[in-house]
Amino acid sequence: MSWILLALLNPLLHGWANIIDAYLSSRLFTKLTALTFFTAFTNVLFLPVVFLFARPELPSLNLLPAIIAISCIEVLYLYPYYKALQRGDTSIIASLFAVGKVFVPIFAYFIVGEVLTVTQYLGFFVIIACSALLSFERSAKFKMNASFYYMLICSALLSIEVVLYKYIFNDTNWSTGFVWPVIFSFMLVVLLLLIPTYRRDVVTHMSVFRKNFRLFALEEFLTFGGVAASTYVVSFIPVTLEQSIGSFQPIFILAYALLFKRFFPNVFREEINTQSLIKKGFLFLLMIIGVLLVVGIGN
């Protein structure tokens, strides 16, 4: 079970990345199209790190459709993700990533032939139910807010992506399967510059990007590390097990807010009053139980 420690790097690093993403999308960028471009651009700068430890190869032609699909998802998921971050607490938005996990066992079954036990299905249901409850607004009377629907789209796309990664890793090594989607996603956002409105948004926000490049670099370093850890674990264990560990992400975010919000009040957008903490703590506890059902039973 040593893989669990490695898998925990994903929510640990992505927790900080989510906090920075919330700051970037809510306070610095008025156009999310520009933020999407700069995210992909900064992410590709970290690719040389992979070459220090591995030697990626040219992918086989039969893997190109999956690689291109992952590359498109890497760009498409960012818009609903940033929109959701503009509307709610970062820890709640992060917990809504778990909503898409309901699709993971379905896609994994049809694409890579993975089968879950009844107990694991129960664990996933607990995770999804808690994530949905976290998105309820107090005044909405059982009506889900916009963040839920944005994250439903986002998490569904990422569920397809992680299963496609597993499909690729069944046919090639980790470095090859990891590097090429990053390269293709960068090529995609460069091609989008051919669209006049998109190009104008990027040019308009270029000064903001240069001024905050260090923050961008930190965010993308964390994201790059989280995705690298996640995909590496997926390369040798069932995808559903790795994905369940990602549900710890909102717990890390809430912990970061409790520890550091008083020092950086403009960065954290968390509600940490007593009532909110009781609600979040109870639902997070249930999510942990769901994760333990998925990971611990039968392993």
pLDDT tens-digit readout, 134-181 = 655 554 444 456 777 888 888 889 999 999 999 999 999 999 999 999
d(CA 72, CA 1) in angstroms, rounded, equals: 33
Provide the pLDDT for residue 136.
59
Domain ranges of the chain: 3-49+60-296
Give the long-range contacts of residues 252-260, CB within 8 A, separation 24 or more: 252/11, 252/12, 252/15, 253/15, 253/18, 253/19, 253/90, 253/91, 253/94, 254/91, 254/280, 254/284, 256/15, 256/16, 256/19, 257/19, 257/90, 257/91
For 251-263, how does the pLDDT look when each residue is reduced to its tens digit (9 = 90+)? 787 788 888 877 7
Provide the pLDDT for residue 268.
67
For 104-114, how does the pLDDT look when each residue is reduced to its tens digit (9 = 90+)? 888 898 899 98
Instruction: Count Cβ atoms within 10 A of the Cβ of residue 202 and give its class: 0-12 exposed, 13-18 middle, 19 or more buried.
Output: buried
pLDDT category of residue 249 using cuts at 50, 70 and 90: confident
Provide the pLDDT for residue 267.
65
DSSP string, 235-268: TTS-HHHHHHHGGGHHHHHHHHHHHHTTT-TTT-
Provide the pLDDT for residue 135.
58
Mean pLDDT over all residues of the chain? Answer: 84
What global pTM score does this model have?
A: 0.84
For the chain, give the percent of residues with pLDDT over 70. 89
The mean per-residue pLDDT over the stretch 53-80 comes to 93
pLDDT category of residue 60 using cuts at 50, 70 and 90: very high
